[in-house]
Amino acid sequence: MSPEAPSSQPQLTVPTPLSRRSLLRAGAATAAGLGLGLTTAGCGFLSSGPTADSDSQESIDVKVDGDLVYFNWADFVDPAVLAGFEGEYGVKVIQSNFDSMEGMVAKLNAGNRYDIIFPTAKWAQRLAAGNRLHRIDHGKLKNAESILGQYAYFADPWYDSDSRHTLPFTMYKTGIGWRKDKIGDDLGGSWDDLWNARAKGRVFVLDDRDEVLGFAALKLGLDVSTTDVDDLGRITETLLSLRPRLRGFSSDSYNNLLNGNAAMTQAWSGDMAAMLSQAKDPSVFGFEIAKEGAPVNSDCYAIPSNARHPGTAMLFIDYMLRPENVKKNIEYLGYPMPVGGSEDTYAALVEPFPECLVSAEDLKDDLYFRNGTTKGEQARDSAWTRVKAG
């Protein structure tokens, strides 16, 4: 869909995009090399401002009001589910994709209009705080209770009070994946394992600021989202000691492990589960959750306040929450969904990697990445820039 003229909506500060989960099934991807001139920019907190659209707080009628303009990670819903929605409601799903949260927000700031987007928790908080999202009336969704009645956490999450603007899509946590045929069957169950001598030169970490600073913080017993300058100094020094052992920064842990580029990599649990469908011998691979703690996160359904077809978006959310569609998407993506009755589907999928399981108990550990002040986010950007520059 062609961008329209930018509106007077409050602007999010957007840094250079970082890769994450893009094109998981597109084959081997080129990892970011250590010798490249890598840069980042500021990631400030959302500025406040007036409500962008006067009707963004009004209840949305759940009805077809046009085709669905859809904005998500690439290949992040089962194509059969999208086709089923088109067939049932007589609409087209007009797809666009982003490769980072920063990229998503840049498109919103440019004036592009989408009916459904999929922000992560902290970005959902930013968008809601900036009056950039429609309210979602749970009472008008037949299947919302399968989340809100089964997962109390999401009835009133920290990032969106009373889930006024969002419903959760997927959940995941971060750990370490490795090839047993390269470095052995067992690791130590700690973030220290990334320094494993047998993996030296074949280690990747995610190309993601919060994930990399976060694991080092947990290793040191610090808050996963710390913005304290002294803490960040310790974190930076810890990560710089890992740099000589790294092959690169890459968020394509899925393909790096499959094709042997990585002997060990920081990885999202869902990517490890998705890899099972491609691995000829899943027993070659291992996945562990560090004893110091694992960051957890969730993606959300959200409807931008300037959506042209919010009624169709509401129908889409309800359609996606049908049990048969939840099952299809879990099996396709490898990511669990906080929908009551879907737990056995995911448990069966990750039987070779039980560490991939994400439960309501994991959510209570308060290891989500949180938004900081502008100054705090700039301090984290500076630490990340130093780590990437080496």
- Rounded CA separation 68/82 (Å): 10
- Say what percent of the chain tops pLDDT 70: 85
Higher pLDDT, 171 or 51: 171
Domains, in order of start, for the chain = 58-171+297-353 (3.40.190.10), 172-294+368-389 (3.40.190.10)
pLDDT of residue 335: 93
- Rounded CA separation 119/73 (Å): 10
User: pLDDT tens digits, residue range 149-192?
Assistant: 999 999 999 999 999 999 999 999 999 999 999 999 999 999 99
Residue 202 above 70 pLDDT? yes
User: pLDDT band for position 51 (50/70/90)?
Assistant: very low
Residue 337 above 80 pLDDT? yes
User: pLDDT band for position 72 (50/70/90)?
Assistant: very high
User: pLDDT band for position 100 (50/70/90)?
Assistant: confident
Using an 8 Å Cβ cutoff, are 43 and 102 in contact? yes
Residue 28 above 50 pLDDT? no
> Which of 28-32, 240-244, 275-279 has the largest mean confidence?
240-244
Range scoring the smallest mean pLDDT among 20-24, 210-214, 308-312, 384-388:
20-24
Residue 14 above 50 pLDDT? no
- Rounded CA separation 68/64 (Å): 9
Burial class, 161, CB count within 10 angstroms (exposed 0-12 / middle 13-18 / buried 19+): exposed
3-state secondary structure the chain: CCCCCCCCCCCCCCCCCCCCCCCCCCCCCCCEECCCCCCCCCCCCCCCCCCCCCCCCCCCCCCCCCCEEEEEECCCCCHHHHHHHHHHHCCCEEEEEECCHHHHHHHHHCCCCCCEECCEHHHHHHHHHCCCECCCCHHHCCCCHHHHCCCHHHHCCCCCHHHCCEEEEEEEEEEEEEEHHHHCCCCCCCHHHHHCHHHCCCEEECCCHHHHHHHHHHHCCCCCCCCCHHHHHHHHHHHHHHHHHEEEECCCHHHHHHCCCCCEEEEEHHHHHHHCCCCCCHHHEEEECCCCCCCEEEEEEECECCCCCHHHHHHHHHHHCCHHHHHHHHHHHCCCCCCCCCHHHHHHHCCCCHHHCCCHHHHCCCCCCCCCCHHHHHHHHHHHHHHHHC
Total residue length of the chain? 390
pLDDT of residue 277: 73
pLDDT of residue 57: 65
Interior/surface letters 94-131, b for 16+ CB within 10 angstroms, e for the rest: eeeebbbbbbbbbbbbeebbbbbbbbbbbbbbbbbbbb
Residue 311 above 90 pLDDT? yes
Higher pLDDT, 31 or 232: 232
Closest CA to 358 of 324, 330, 328: 330
User: pLDDT tens digits, residue range 109-156?
Assistant: 999 999 999 999 999 999 999 999 999 999 999 999 999 999 999 999
pLDDT of residue 13: 40
- Rounded CA separation 360/338 (Å): 8
Query: How confident is the prediction for the chain on average, in pLDDT?
Result: 86
- Over range 217-221, report the average pLDDT: 98
Using an 8 Å Cβ cutoff, are 360 and 186 in contact? no
pLDDT of residue 56: 56
Closest CA to 353 of 244, 301, 277: 277
User: pLDDT band for position 254 (50/70/90)?
Assistant: confident
The pTM is what?
Answer: 0.84
> Helices 121-129 and 101-109, interaxial angle, to 10°?
20
pLDDT of residue 314: 98
Amino acid at 65: D
Question: Dihedrals φ, ψ of 323, to 5°?
Answer: -55, -40
Using an 8 Å Cβ cutoff, are 216 and 383 in contact? no
Burial class, 180, CB count within 10 angstroms (exposed 0-12 / middle 13-18 / buried 19+): middle
pLDDT of residue 252: 87
